[in-house]
Amino acid sequence: MIKAAILGATGYAGSELVRILSAHKEAELVWLASHSHAGESFSTVHPAFRGICDQVLEDDDIVKAAEAADVVFLALPHGIASGLVSADILSRTVIIDLGADFRLHDADVYESWYKVTHNSKELLPRAVYGLCELHRSEVASARLIANPGCYTTCSILTLYPLVRAGLVEECGIIIDAKSGTSGAGRSAKMGSMYCEVNESVKAYSITSHRHTPEIEQELSLAAGETVRVQFTPHLIPMDRGILVTCYARMRPGAGQEDVSRAYHEAYDGERFIRLCDAPPETRHVAGSNYVDISWKLDGRTGNIIAMGALDNLVKGAAGQAVQNMNIAFGLDEAEGLGLVPGAVV
């Protein structure tokens, strides 16, 4: 039985980890922490968990967590994890960081997009970018796993086969993303109030969203050359779910069959990726670890429109973190993740 700890357990990603791990057969939650709720029970903060997880919350303390657990999940605001993790910690436990601190290989890129100093650059070479479908073998032997962002996971997985196979032009890729409100995190701020979000849609962080360099890093690796994307996120009046609608220009000569082959070569056999005929809908993946992907070529314009949908808290955060844990500990990759989408209704 793998012992698991969570720092930042009461946020939306943290509590989704609790939801998934409380039904995991090979892992047990031994240590939960929340800075703002230390001393309270988890189910006091989240009454949905009464009888499921009534553990008392500790204060965030990575040393104690590392002592208690084989794997420590960090679900903390960016900039904090890089000050907590150290070589010593990594010698004692596996870290799966749901934040951004170890996702970008280049500390300068991190600092320029996040406007903070990176506090443990020396660990970056040891960090593995935990997009399971792309880096499975590296994850298997990693001690420090940087769990990808929600928008990032959806964007990369949707575009990866096209870029890897060289079917689309690298420049000019547009990613128009739509996210439910849980992506904004669990803290009381005006922009996340019910009456400010409900019955409206808007773009935000135009040209400057921090998931951009993460997407570019991975697509560039896949392409073997620099890929630049235009990434624009939008806030949607719903709880969960991300849909990305990606636009790219087809390379001359590339056609329908090449695209189909590229997707199938990349993803056939993947248990959490479903290639669909119809455009994906976020409700079809809500609550599950699935990514639904679909595409359409437009002969009139020469573009391909590729779409992906996932649950930002599951495959976009906690679900993928558990998938990474399963890989790192040699378990069945799908253990605890047989979550049936709860969204027929």
Structure tokens at 333: 């990759």
User: Closest distance between a copy of itself and the C-beta of residue 146, in Å?
Assistant: 23
User: Closest distance between a copy of itself and the C-beta of residue 119, in Å?
Assistant: 27
Phi, psi at residue 319, to the nearest 5°?
-65, -45
By three-state DSSP, how is residue 191 classified? helix
User: Closest distance between a copy of itself and the C-beta of residue 281, in Å?
Assistant: 4
Site stretch for a copy of itself (CB under 8 A), options 102-110, 112-120, 186-194, 326-334: 186-194
Specify the DSSP class assigned to residue 101.
Answer: T
Residue (of 233, 231, 219) closest to 312 by Cα position: 233
User: Which of residues 86, 174, 329, 334 is near a copy of itself by CB under 8 A?
Assistant: 174
Q: Enumerate residues 217-276 that contact a copy of itself by CB under 8 A.
A: 228-230, 232, 234, 236-241, 243, 245, 247, 249, 274, 276
Instruction: Give the x/- contact pattern for a copy of itself in 93-122, rule: CB under 8 A.
Output: ------------------------------
Site stretch for a copy of itself (CB under 8 A), options 12-20, 79-87, 107-115, 139-147: 12-20
The pairing of beta strand 202-203 with beta strand 71-74 = unpaired
Residue with smaller CB distance to a copy of itself, 255 or 342: 342
* Separation CA 20–CA 6 (nearest Å): 12
User: Closest distance between a copy of itself and the C-beta of residue 122, in Å?
Assistant: 29
Which of 132, 150, 154, 246 is flagged as catalytic?
A: 150
User: Closest distance between a copy of itself and the C-beta of residue 147, in Å?
Assistant: 18
48 CB neighbour count, 10 Å cutoff? 10
CB contact set of 76 (below 8 Å; sequence gap of 6+): 7, 8, 60, 84, 98, 99
Residue with smaller CB distance to a copy of itself, 62 or 339: 339
Give just the sign of the alpha carbon dihedral 127, 18, 289, 330: positive
Our answer to whether residue 171 is catalytic in this structure is: no
Residue (of 179, 295, 293) closest to 234 by Cα position: 179
Active-site positions read 150
